[in-house]
Amino acid sequence: MAIDGIEDYMLQCTSKQLFGIACPGCGTQRATALLFKGEFAAAFHMYPAIYTLIFLILFVVFNLFVKFKYDFKIKIGLLLLNVAIILVSYLLKMSPYF
C-alpha cells in the first residue's frame, strides 16, 4: 500500500477554510504523513511538536499498562512542553518577521 496517496484523505482545517487563518494544529496530518514516508527533518519543519506529541502518546499508552511513582507529573510536564512548543511555533509561523 502506497503512502503517496494519503494526502487525498486528509481532513481540511475548518479554521483555515472559514477564516483564512491556520490553527495551531495545522500541519499535524502532513507531518505525520512525512514521518511515514521517512522524511523526518521535513516532518519537524512542518510541525515542530510532532516528536514530543508522539512521545507523549507513547508514554500515556505505556502508562496504561505500567504504573510508577511520578507518572502524573511526567504526563503534566510533557503536556506543558507540547503546549509551549505548539504555541511558540504557531506564533512564529503567524509572525510577519519569520
**Whole-prediction pTM:** 0.81
What distance in Å separates the CA atoms of residue 31 and residue 87, rounded to the nearest whole number? 17
Q: Which of 83, 95, 90, 92 is nearest to 15 (CA)?
A: 90
Q: What total of structural domains would you count in the chain? A: 1
Per the listing, cell 487525498 goes with 8
Determine the structural domain holding residue 86 and report its residue range.
4-94
pLDDT tens, 50-86?
999 999 999 999 999 999 899 999 999 999 999 999 9
What distance in Å separates the CA atoms of residue 24 and residue 30, rounded to the nearest whole number? 13
pLDDT tens, 26-37?
889 989 999 989
